[in-house]
A = this chain, B = another copy of it.
Amino acid sequence: MDTKQKTENYRQSAQRDRILEVLKTTNSHPTADWLYSQLKSEFPKLSPGTIYRNLGILQEMGKVKKIQYGSTFDRFEANLSDHYHLICESCNSITDINLPACKDILNKAEELSDFSINYHQIEFYGICISCRRAS
């Protein structure tokens, strides 16, 4: 997300390791609160502050990305590959989709604007299959 790389001395911490692991093994683009409740049993004294602080650090490290749309609260993912998002307007779930990155759009956008573009996102809003079945 952010291009600046802090050159800090990060130490190891069990909590941070687990947050990243959990993020890596889920594809549900969890919220901070969900991560908190997942790890609370493992670290009984865990606090939300630790979750947020580590999510921030993991972003600085470039290991986690923040997703800011589709909800009133942030979601996070550890899938760093290029991909776009499908967002269900009914259940608010977020799904990854791999599309061939359309370079021509990027080029055209840079051409038409005064921006130097670093990256782009695409979100598709619709209804997912389980919500369609349910209705």
Contacts and interface: CB of A to CB of B under 8 A. Distances in A.
Interface of A: 2-3, 68-70, 84, 86, 88-89, 95, 97-100, 102, 105-106, 108-109, 112-129, 132
A118 B126 contact: yes
B129 A115 contact: yes
Chain B CB within 10 A, most for which of A100, A105, A115, A123:
A115
Given A68-B69, A69-B69, A128 B105 contact: no
B124 A122 contact: no
A121 B120 contact: no
Given A116-B132, A119-B124, 14 more contacts: A86-B109, A86-B117, A97-B112, A99-B108, A99-B112, A105-B122, A115-B126, A116-B126, A117-B125, A118-B125, A118-B127, A120-B122, A120-B125, A122-B122
Nearest to A132: B116
